[in-house]
Amino acid sequence: MPSKSPAQHRLMEAVAHNPKFAKKVGIPTSVGKDFAAADKKMNDGGVIKSLKKDGFYDAGKSKSERLSIINKETTKPERLEMVDKLFLEKKMKGGGLYANINAKRERIAEGSGEKMRKPGSPGAPTAQAFKESAKTAKMKDGGPSLAIGRGEKLSADQGAGLTAKGRAKYNSETGSHLKAPQPQGGSRRDSFCARMGPVAEKSEKGSRSRASMQRWNCPGWWSRAYSGTVGTTVINVQQLIDHGARRAGKLAEELTSEQLTSARESLFFLLSNLINIGIQYWAISKKVYGLKADQYIYDLPVGGNDVLQALYRKMARPTGSYSSSAGGTVENAFDGNTSTICTQTTAGGNISVNYGSTNPIYIGSIGVLPGVSGTFNVVFECSSDGSTWIPISSPGPTVWVDNEWLWYDIDPGYTVPYYRIRAITGTLSLRELFFGNNSTEITMARLNRDDYTNLPNKNFTANQPFQFWFNRTIPQSKMYLWPVPSDPFVQMTVWYSRQIDDVGALTNELEVPQRWYEATIMMLAHRMALELPGVGMDRIQYLEAQAEKYLALAESEERDKSPIYFAPNISVYSR
């Protein structure tokens, strides 16, 4: 029987012609000779002879023509034998001259006893045969010699690939049919992008493969399917709890309503606890207090945790001409007397100031001292011509308390001749309307409890309070000022740390920056694992370690990275 593969053919040839090799591989020489004879018969006569006669091996035959000849000249067993044998010398595969030479070298290495023919000897390949074979042979080092300097290919900065000159040289030396890139689209571009895409994905930025993707205008590569947005992915409370459940080893669908409520409460607990770790920079707020004569206790807003900076502030109040669109004594809102009130007679009115059409004034802060309590919705506006107004601050519906200042810093401020307050709902009733600029702020010193309680006269009054004691109590922390302020037209600017907003409904988002998501989910997963039934201790310990890891990473990044200066406090020795 003939050999079933080229490898078996070479083995049997070696066995048939080299007894020493046959003994080494354990195959009788007679078996090798039988196979060699069958192979020779297969090649030199029978089916092969008939195929040659009908032009099966002629150049230019199409695949369909070759199949037609095979079906005509062979029986089914013969066809199966030919398929198994793969034509030995790979005549159907186009192995060609170099394939035959390599096959013979392999047989010699296996001990076939054959010898390579010398150039020019009978049966040796001719020079013309080598030349023809070189057109389709695989080139060493990737192909013909092509260089950027000779104008045969482009640099990566230019888009990589071959120039027209380079393609002509490559086609001439290899018999190929390379064409110019097809950036406008088409089957060749689709094929190139599909083949080169995986290569470019693994390549570094600036590589030739990536440059070629740009030159061919491969869709979805240089315009990559990026979102083009940052921080717009919405992760609500429900999604955080679902992730926490899965990390605890539970399906989100398994959670009962009680466990869902418990998870939301756990999320609230862990967010509340963050204030004990350190300052969370996204949870720092600013409040401007309008100081009231003879009042020395001021509440920090609900959720306020600690005062970071407190500054005494005073401002200039430019004078102008004033008007009211809905009646009332408008001068009362600008007379510096908190006992007089300007009350308009109809809703939706405005009170304005005119500094002169040729005298634009910069305004950086606006104060309102209400003459009545209630909920009001107002907007502050400015104009450069007195007719076209633009909003500069819209606080929205706000609770006003009679004789308690509301201050709004305008950042950035405006420099125009006209400003006004306009009621969207309600009727304006103001004790004072203060448009201020040129603010001066002075740091207030912080007292501890002992220092404040040891003050001999806590009710001592002065225009400027320059110290405070911060009393961290509930439900709201309080600031005790000393001396007691006596001027109702000064302010106190307070920067304070606060609690993160409540969790709220399951559809709400957390007031947590994106960089804290992983730490938050890990901490939640650990807390949920402690309360969910059936969670193994090994998973609980693993989640605890992961929660600590990601919390440390997030907390280490939570800083303003500004320089720190240390200065000794020697005031007790120098007063």
The model's pLDDT over 449-476, given as tens digits with 9 standing for 90+, comes to 999 999 999 999 998 899 999 999 999 9
Q: Report the amino acid identity of residue 290.
A: G
pLDDT tier at 25, thresholds 50, 70, 90:
confident
Average pLDDT, rounded, for the chain? 85
Q: Which residue has the tokens 């091996």?
A: 57
Q: What was the pLDDT predicted at 146?
A: 84
Helix, strand, coil in percent for the chain, rounding step 5: 40, 20, 40
253: helix, strand or coil = helix
**How far apart are alpha carbons 419 and 333 in whole angstroms?**
14
347 Cβ neighbours under 8 A, 6+ residues apart: 326, 423, 425, 426, 427
pLDDT digits 0-9 by tens, 348-388: 999 999 999 999 999 999 999 999 999 999 999 999 999 99
Mean pLDDT lowest for which of 15-19, 295-299, 393-397? 15-19
What is the mean pLDDT of the segment spanning 283-300?
95
pLDDT tier at 494, thresholds 50, 70, 90:
very high
What is the mean pLDDT of the segment spanning 98-112?
70
Task: List the structure tokens of 229.
Answer: 């947005």
- State yes or no: pLDDT of 89 exceeds 50: no
Q: What was the pLDDT predicted at 395?
A: 94
Task: List the structure tokens of 84.
Answer: 């198994």
pLDDT tier at 80, thresholds 50, 70, 90:
very low
Domain edges within the chain: 6-134, 142-215, 237-278+502-557, 281-499
Contacts 24+ apart (CB under 8 A), 156-164: 156/206, 156/207, 156/208, 156/210, 156/211, 157/211, 158/211, 159/211, 159/212, 159/214, 159/215, 160/208, 160/209, 160/211, 160/212, 160/215, 161/211, 161/212, 161/215
- State yes or no: pLDDT of 191 exceeds 90: no
Cis amide bond preceding 456, omega within 30: no
Fold (topology level) of 281-499: Jelly Rolls (2.60.120)
pTM score of the predicted model: 0.61
pLDDT tier at 518, thresholds 50, 70, 90:
very high
Q: What was the pLDDT predicted at 170?
A: 85
What is the mean pLDDT of the segment spanning 242-259?
93
- State yes or no: pLDDT of 207 exceeds 80: yes
Mean pLDDT lowest for which of 195-204, 280-289, 400-409, 415-424? 195-204
What is the mean pLDDT of the segment spanning 239-267?
94
pLDDT tier at 91, thresholds 50, 70, 90:
very low
Q: Nearest-5° angle of CA 303, CA 308, CA 311?
A: 110
Q: What was the pLDDT predicted at 117?
A: 80
Choice between 77 and 423, residue whose per-residue pLDDT is larger: 423
- State yes or no: pLDDT of 239 exceeds 60: yes
Mean pLDDT lowest for which of 66-75, 194-203, 235-244, 419-428? 66-75
CA contacts within 13 A on the Cβ side of 526: 18
- State yes or no: pLDDT of 137 exceeds 80: no
